[in-house]
Amino acid sequence: MHRLASSVALTAALLLISGCSTGGTPIDGGPAGSTPSPQSSATATPTEDTAEGTTEERAPEQGMVTPADFERATAVRVVRHLAGVIGPREATGRAYARAARWVQGELEGMGYDVARQRFDVPAGESWGVPVPAGRSVNVVATPVGFDPARPHLVVGAHLDTVPQAPGAEDNASGVGVLLAVAEAVAQRRTRLPVVLVAFGAEEPRGPGDDDHHYGSRHYAAELGRRERAAVRAMVSLDRVGVGATVPVGSATSSDPVQRSLLAAARSAGVRAVAVAEQRSSDHWSFVRAGLPAARLGSTSYAAYHSAADVPAVVQPEQLARAGRVVLAWLAPRQPSAG
């Protein structure tokens, strides 16, 4: 997988583009979902050899993850806690550290092995606000028994915000879907083992391409040769709680991960739209490192990077759409009709 801050941590880890839609109902809370213990990665169904998948067909099996396993209430609860209780989460600040500890506890409560991957972040200016240098952290969850040198998938969402924003849509929505996906796959088969990452310091600290995405760049840089080869695809969940369709972004004109996500959306009955040249999220760190990756999310909305980005902005049904796409993408391949 990756060389974490120490060999102990490594062992522990082994383990803006479519128009804004106002459809859906704002978040009004909901009960927490159940938190089963995750399966050992040895029970995952390893049929995925490329970003687009193989043509191998498998009969349906009991215990396979399906889009219907997504619990919207879990994602809603996460959005309300991160944006409504904790609030703005600048990547080197105390609130971010609090949020990272909370996410870690959620994932550990589901039974995952969780490691913290620390990295330095420079001072700068984030959306007009000066921000200090400091340290941030990625929270990395893996199934029990995970082997990072074996083929696997990565699903990530950034946990930090710009200093002035509670960050409900950007990006408690992505973390909410991430944790609901973690819950869904905890005891169900996926086509490959899944690594789940809450990234730190995604938000800008300056105008250049190298002033963003510090956590995901650190994650990709820490991968060894065998670990890099084992990453079959990565998906970044970034602003997935607003709109009526799910944007699926590629860093180039098109790529295999984008196409596989669009196919997953069709199979889940979710309307999705392809977005080209989309580089403003953590998937870009993986693509820059030569790894296959794409993004879900990016519908425009009025509260972007502002104090008005509160839980009421986020639409629970859009969270569910994004979550169903991810689970369809992670599911073992089904036989084609006919």
* CATH number of the domain encompassing residue 105: 3.40.630.10
Residue 336 located in a structural domain: no
Residue 319 has pLDDT above 60, yes or no: yes
Q: What is the mean pLDDT of residues 294-307?
A: 98
What pLDDT does residue 52 have?
57
Mean pLDDT of 221-231: 98
Q: How many CB atoms lie within 10 A of CB 320?
A: 22
Asked whether residue 1 is domain-assigned, the answer is no
Please report which helix (H) or strand (E) contains residue 100, including its range: helix 94-109
For 70, the domain range is 7-330
Residue 335: inside a domain:
no
* Beta pairing, strands 246-249 & 194-199: unpaired
- Residue 215 falls inside a structural domain: yes
Q: What pLDDT digit, counting tens, does each position of 69-101 carry? A: 999 999 999 999 999 999 999 999 999 999 999
Least confident of 19-23, 201-205, 243-247, 305-309: 19-23
List, for residues 53-70, the tens digit of each pLDDT value. 433 334 345 699 999 999
Residue 55 has what pLDDT? Answer: 30
Higher pLDDT residue, 261 or 24?
A: 261
Q: Would the pLDDT of 32 be above 90?
A: no
Confidence band, pLDDT 50/70/90 cuts, at residue 187: confident
Q: With 80 as the cut, is the pLDDT of residue 34 above it?
A: no
Query: Cβ-count burial of 87 within 10 angstroms (0-12 exposed, 13-18 middle, 19+ buried)?
Result: middle
- Report the length, in residues, of the chain: 338
Residue 2 placed within a domain: no
Alpha-carbon distances of 73 from 79, 82, 182, rounded to whole Å: 10, 14, 14
User: Is 338 contained in some domain?
Assistant: no
Give pLDDT tens digits for 157-184: 999 999 999 999 999 999 999 999 999 9
Query: What mean pLDDT is predicted for residues 282-302?
Result: 98
Query: With contact defined as beta carbons under 8 Å apart, do 89 and 296 qualify?
Result: no
Q: How many domains does the chain have?
A: 1
Q: Residue 333: what pLDDT?
A: 81
Separation of CA 219 from chain center: 13
Of 130 and 27, the one with more pLDDT: 130
pLDDT value, residue 324: 98
- What is residue 230's predicted lDDT score, i.e. its pLDDT? 98
Q: DSSP per residue over 53-72, as a string?
A: --S------TTB--GGG--H
Percent of the chain with pLDDT over 70: 80
Q: Is the pLDDT of residue 338 over 50?
A: no
pLDDT bucket at 51, cuts 50 / 70 / 90: low
Q: Which of 131, 142, 140 is nearest to 95 (CA)?
A: 131
Confidence of residue 6 (pLDDT cuts 50, 70, 90): very low
Helix-helix angle 173-185:94-109, to 10 degrees:
20
pLDDT number for residue 209 = 87
Percent of the chain residues topping a pLDDT of 90: 79
Band (pLDDT 50/70/90 cuts) for residue 5 is very low
Average of per-residue pLDDT values in the chain:
86
Q: What is the pLDDT of residue 289?
A: 97
How open is the CA angle 65-66-72, to the nearest 5 degrees?
105
Label residue 205 exposed, middle or buried (CB < 10 Å: 0-12, 13-18, 19+): buried
- Asked whether residue 85 is domain-assigned, the answer is yes
- Which residues, 6 or more positions from 256, have their beta carbon under 8 angstroms from its beta carbon? 50, 51, 52, 233, 292
Is the confidence at residue 211, as pLDDT, over 50?
yes
CA atoms within 13 A on the CB side of 155: 28
